[in-house]
Structure 1
Amino acid sequence: MERLWTPAWIVRHVAMVVLVAGCLGMGWWQVTRAAGGNAISFGYAIEWPVFAGFVIFVWWREVRQTLRATPPGDAQPTADPAPSAAAGAEPAVTTPAVRRPVRVVRTPSAPADGADDAELAAYNRYLSWLNANPGARPGDYPG
């Protein structure tokens, strides 16, 4: 339970209470508007408590997930259900439940046949000319 009283979790608890109170308050406001003759407010009077229920559902799910996770200092060794037949085999490495993203550097590839694209080269010459002549219009291009 100590894991649920960190500063980050206190902010989550307060946010949940504020959001639920706000949604229920908005629902009550819609009930009073509906009682005053605004027919559309009947739908909103039902919708706001549903939003409050969703906030509670997400908060409860996060609490359960945090309580089920093992704390970093209490890592328990996992038992190998099927011991390996080889005497000197290395133990199986378990993969974590959440993996870190892998960043891949993408570089432009050269054409497969090695030839330059003539259309691309002409377009690059056109862009170079426009850059060299800032006051010129595209229609002034001599090429």
Structure 2
Amino acid sequence: MRRLWTPAWIGRHVLTIALVAGFMALGWWQISRAAAGNTLSWAYAVEWPIFAGFVIFLWIREARHTLRGGDRAEPTAPAPPPAGTPGVRRPVRSARTARVLVPAQESDPELSEYNHYLAWLNANPGARPGDYPGPGR
């Protein structure tokens, strides 16, 4: 239970109480408007308590998650070294690619140039689009 009394959780408790009280007050206000003859307000009178219920649902879910130990920090893998660091090899990631057959002769020069660009990107997986040398190279 101590996990639910940290400064962050106290803020969540206060926010939950404020939101639920505000949503219920808005629902009551819509009921008074509906009783005065505004028929659309009946829908809002139902909607605001649903919002309050959703806030309570989220609060309960997060509290259970915290009590089960979900807030404990998981160990993470160290960040890879920046590119160009001497003496350090960066791991190579392999990616699955689909092979698409492209006709040898295309009538549209823009499409042909774009396909050449895509083929170049596929052949150079570590390259950036700005490294593209241009068509026909």
TM-score (norm 2): 0.56
Q: Aligned pair 1:62/2:78, yes or no? A: no
SS of structure 1 residue aligned to 2:19: helix
Per the alignment, in what secondary structure is the counterpart of residue 21 of structure 2?
helix
Instruction: Classify the secondary structure of the residue corresponding to 2:52.
Output: helix
- Tell me the distance in 1 between the aligned counterparts of 2:71 and 2:51: 32
Distance between the aligned counterparts of 2:26 and 2:3, measured in 1? 32
User: Where do residues 1-143 of structure 1 align in structure 2 (5 Å cutoff)?
Assistant: 1-69=1-69, 107-108=127-128, 110-111=131-132, 116-117=134-135
Q: 1:26 to 1:70 in 2, by over 3 A?
A: closer
| Aligned-partner Cα distance in 2 for 1:35–1:61 | 35
Shift of 1:40: 0.2
What whole-Å deviation, never above 9, does each CA across 1:45-91 have from its counterpart, x for those lacking one?
0000000000000000000000001775xxxxxxxxxxxxxxxxxxx
Change in CA separation of 1:53 and 1:70 when aligned onto 2, cut-off 3 Å: closer
5+ residue gaps in structure 2?
84-125
With the length of structure 1 as denominator, give the TM-score of the two structures. 0.54
Q: Which residue of 1 aligns with 2:120?
A: none
Q: How many residues align?
A: 90
Give the Å deviation of 1:108.
1.3
* SS of 1:117 mapped into structure 2: coil
Amino acid at match of 2:31: V
RMSD in angstroms over aligned alpha carbons?
3.1
Show structure 1 runs of 5+ residues with no match. Answer: 73-95, 119-143
Following the alignment from structure 1 to structure 2, what is the Cα–Cα distance between the partners of residues 38 and 99? 56
**Which stretches of structure 1, 4 residues or longer, exceed 4 Å deviation after superposition?**
102-107
Amino acid at match of 1:19: L
SS of residue matched to 1:38: coil
Give me the whole-angstrom Cα distance separating, in 2, the residues matched to 1:25 and 1:65: 29
Rg larger in structure: 1
CA gap 1:71/1:29 in 2 versus in 1, 3 angstroms: closer
